[in-house]
Amino acid sequence: MEALDRKLLRDFRRLWAQAAAIALVLACGVAILMTSFGMYGALEETRDAYYERNRFADVFAGANRVPDSLLTDIRAIPGVREAEPRVVEHVILDLPARVETVTARAISLPEDGAPLLNRPLLRTGRLPDPAATAEVAVNAPFAQANGLRPGDSFLANLGGQQRRLSVTGTVLSPEFIYTIGPGALMPDNETFGILWMPARMADAAFDMDGAFNDIALKLDPAAQQPAVIDRLDALLEPYGGLGAYGRDRQTSHSFVDAEIEQLRATALILPPIFFGITAFLVGMVIGRIIALERSEIGLLKAIGYSDVEICLHYLMLAALIALVGAVLGWGVGTWLSRALARLYAQFFDFPYLIYRVAWDAYVISGVLALLSAALGAARSALRAAAMPPAVAMAPPAPPRFKRTWFDRLLAAMRLSQPVMMILRSLMRWPLRSALTTLGLSLAVAVLVASGFFSDALDKIVNSAFYQSNRQDAILLFEPDIPETALPQVANLPGVLRAEGQQGQAAILRHGHLEKDAAIEARRPGADLSRVIDGVGRAVDVPRDGLLLSERLAMQLEAAPGDILQVEFLGGRGETHALPVAGVVTRYIGLGAYMDFETLNRLKRQAPRISVANLLVDDALLPELHATLKETPELSGLIMLSDMRRSFEETIRENVVVMTTVYISIAVLITVGVAYNGARIQLSERARELASLRILGFTRGEVSFVLMGETMVLAILAQPLGWGLGALIAQALASGSTSDLYAVPLVLEPAGFARASLVVLAASFVSSLVVRRRLDKLNLVEVMKTRE
């Protein structure tokens, strides 16, 4: 082993504490990168394989009633490889031993029993016999949540008639990786499921003999999807077409895709913070080592070591630190991504998990780790290589100081000598002070940026459940029922109040821009389901205009006063010009709102409702459920009170885990910066501090000088950290926003205070650990040290 190699290992062993602090910071960046890449790759690869093996459709469309004879024209659309019609309806189930009303989506299977598209994957049992009249298969998560097995049976309200259905098997489907019921905000496998039944059974139950109301298309790879969708809409329009759409708007695919995009945003935003801090810490440590080893560098050069060897020696020391950090990050990142991938596989109802962290994730994270360490050490290593031997062996020239306005200011303030020493040290090394402040501010920023999610979720919950939707239950009717039936709804057992609401699928156009949206119409003064403006006030929709959510208005580039072309889908399919009356706040989904009377007038129909919002007496819920199970017009029930409770519990669990992880990360960053800074300060000022002890200063006063500098920098880092945290939070919020939901940027004072307290506490503890070394200083030996 070469002499430089032995020196390298000795230096690394001697600096193990500082190296470990830096390696842990670097490992955080590598682990986050690995976890994001691993999760991103696992989700995307599993989803794509699932889609391919089970032939997930490319285009979907619904209508009121389409004759089978139209299939020939649909299959003749250029680019269509396969077209599979089906009957889809929502039904009410009465499950044994369950008091609550359960909703399901019933989907017909082809007459030969083998779907061409969206093929169900059997988990247990078998698919229903095509000739059966009372057999169904159910989705596996729903069966598991309700204890259903092949051979079990339950009652279902099919087309107004209650029938007993037998379960033949449990399945998973690529169409329902994320299974969410109509009007629901999150999955609930106990109260919403999917049923697959034979085509003949569905046709008879829903009066669809010789017709269908839903179709899925598989396209050629070279097909132009927009052109296919336009042609399909034109064919379905006379039959109440509800607008064709691609995978990007399919509910399940949209949620999975949004999660993948969020992981990608995390991989792009957070890891660079850790790599930047690593570069700074490595530069600080290597710079101090070179300053202390000037004479050794001179001797090495004098005996024949080249400039390149000297430079590589210190770069190798930085590389060792990076290697330790990368290996730790690889291990933690691989473990985390594997554990999270299993959770995602359960949450998204995948039948299997293709987990494989691509080799390029290891290579990219490793290269970035080495580059960050190398860039941090490069300046000091090059300076060491450039020193002539004679200069290196001589003591460094003492810094030249002159009295400045700052010194005169300190003198005028009559500060104590320890405080003067702290402030002068900060001004003596302004670049290092600035970089240390930046490093500590990034720790604050990480906490601010992560903490905003908790506050944002609280705001979403408050807006969705306590300001906008204040009802206990929502009844869904398909098709719409006359508004005159609302008094009967209000007379249901346990119903304290009932308000009607109508939903209308439409295409909104503004110039060349267009967007599919669901228009909600309610009467003025509605109190259970309200439209909320930007400051949280309930507003009524003007009689002759539209209110748009902020994201919908942004996508259409529409402002109040602009005229939109509104094409109603289903029914007559007419188009009307309506002005934008205002913009309101909505975090879940894209919202458009219209006056109730105006919508019915434009559609030239008697007032109708598709939704009834209910305020319910909890004591009479069992009676209400029993009645609803036998109501023929009902197609679905959403218990918003249960959903609210489940949503809040899920958020609480996620917030606790996320907060713990990010506090740990911020503490590691703070320890890495503060500990290394204090160690270097002790190394540089050991003679000064020893002199103070000899002159009679107490240990507390000397400790104040050592720890004071670190704490002053930590305090100075707070405002910068708040600003950087707000910017990072804004980037994360933008990266997490989609058509499905928006994450509001909520920055509460408590979040800033919490971040500051954690970083200040970690800085104090880190400097306190270094301060203990003061007690072990040999004052005589320190005073003999050559300046």
In a domain, 28, yes or no: yes
- The last residue of a domain, from among 565, 599, 616: 616
Buried b (16+ CB within 10 A) or exposed e, 413-440: eeeeebebbbbebbeebeebbebbbbbb
Same domain flag for 654 and 776: yes
Q: Domain span at residue 165?
A: 61-227
Same domain flag for 241 and 344: yes
* pLDDT-based confidence at residue 171 (cuts at 50, 70, 90): very high
Q: Quick one: pLDDT at residue 220?
A: 93
pLDDT digits (tens, 9 = 90+) for 338-376: 777 767 766 788 888 777 667 777 888 889 889 988 888
pLDDT digits (tens, 9 = 90+) for 274-303: 888 888 778 878 877 877 777 788 778 778
In a domain, 486, yes or no: no
Which tops the pLDDT comparison, 336 or 473? 473
The arithmetic mean of pLDDT across residues 98-102, rounded, is 85
Same domain flag for 501 and 465: no
- The last residue of a domain, from among 211, 227, 243: 227
pLDDT digits (tens, 9 = 90+) for 756-783: 888 888 888 887 877 776 666 655 555 5
Q: What is the average pLDDT value for the chain, to the nearest integer?
A: 83
In a domain, 624, yes or no: no
Same domain flag for 334 and 418: no
Same domain flag for 281 and 420: no
pLDDT digits (tens, 9 = 90+) for 553-608: 988 999 999 999 998 887 777 889 999 998 888 887 788 999 999 999 998 889 99
The arithmetic mean of pLDDT across residues 100-119, rounded, is 89
In a domain, 652, yes or no: yes
Which tops the pLDDT comparison, 669 or 124? 124
pLDDT digits (tens, 9 = 90+) for 494-543: 999 999 999 888 889 998 898 888 899 999 988 898 888 877 788 888 88
Give percent of the chain with pLDDT exceeding 90. 27
* pLDDT-based confidence at residue 408 (cuts at 50, 70, 90): low
The arithmetic mean of pLDDT across residues 130-135, rounded, is 91
Least confident of 3-17, 242-256, 340-354, 490-504: 340-354
The arithmetic mean of pLDDT across residues 105-128, rounded, is 90
In order of 9, 485, 525, 659, the CA distances from 482 in angstroms are: 83, 6, 20, 49
Predicted confidence (pLDDT) at residue 320 exceeds the cutoff of 60: yes
Same domain flag for 65 and 55: no
Q: How far is residue 557's CA from residue 510's CA, in Å, rounded to a whole number? A: 8
pLDDT digits (tens, 9 = 90+) for 51-94: 999 999 999 999 989 999 999 999 999 999 999 999 999 888 98
Same domain flag for 301 and 441: no
pLDDT digits (tens, 9 = 90+) for 670-727: 777 777 777 777 776 666 667 776 766 777 777 777 777 788 888 888 999 899 888 8
**Domains contained in the chain, number:** 4
In a domain, 488, yes or no: no
pLDDT digits (tens, 9 = 90+) for 651-666: 666 666 667 777 777 7
Q: Quick one: pLDDT at residue 732?
A: 75
The arithmetic mean of pLDDT across residues 131-145, rounded, is 93
Q: How far is residue 518's CA from residue 581's CA, in Å, rounded to a whole number? A: 17
Burial of 359 (0-12, 13-18, 19+ CB in 10 A): exposed
Structure tokens at 132: 């059966």
Q: Which of 76-85, 184-193, 620-629, 749-758 has the highest mean pLDDT?
A: 76-85
Same domain flag for 439 and 577: no
Same domain flag for 202 and 234: no
Same domain flag for 453 and 574: no
Predicted confidence (pLDDT) at residue 786 exceeds the cutoff of 60: no
In a domain, 480, yes or no: no
SS3 of the chain: helix, strand, coil, percent, to 5:
55, 20, 25
In a domain, 476, yes or no: no
Peptide bond just before 226 cis, omega within 30 deg: no
In a domain, 628, yes or no: no
Report which of 385, 438, 333 is spatially closest to residue 34, judged by C-alpha positions: 333
* pLDDT-based confidence at residue 193 (cuts at 50, 70, 90): very high
Q: Quick one: pLDDT at residue 654?
A: 64
- Range 301-310 contact pairs with CB under 8 angstroms and sequence separation of 24 or more: 301/387, 301/388, 301/389, 301/392, 302/389, 302/393, 305/4, 307/385, 307/386, 308/385, 309/4, 310/381, 310/384, 310/385
Predicted confidence (pLDDT) at residue 118 exceeds the cutoff of 80: yes
Same domain flag for 417 and 519: no
Q: Quick one: pLDDT at residue 781?
A: 57
* pLDDT-based confidence at residue 415 (cuts at 50, 70, 90): low
- The last residue of a domain, from among 195, 227, 259: 227
Same domain flag for 277 and 174: no
Predicted confidence (pLDDT) at residue 416 exceeds the cutoff of 60: yes
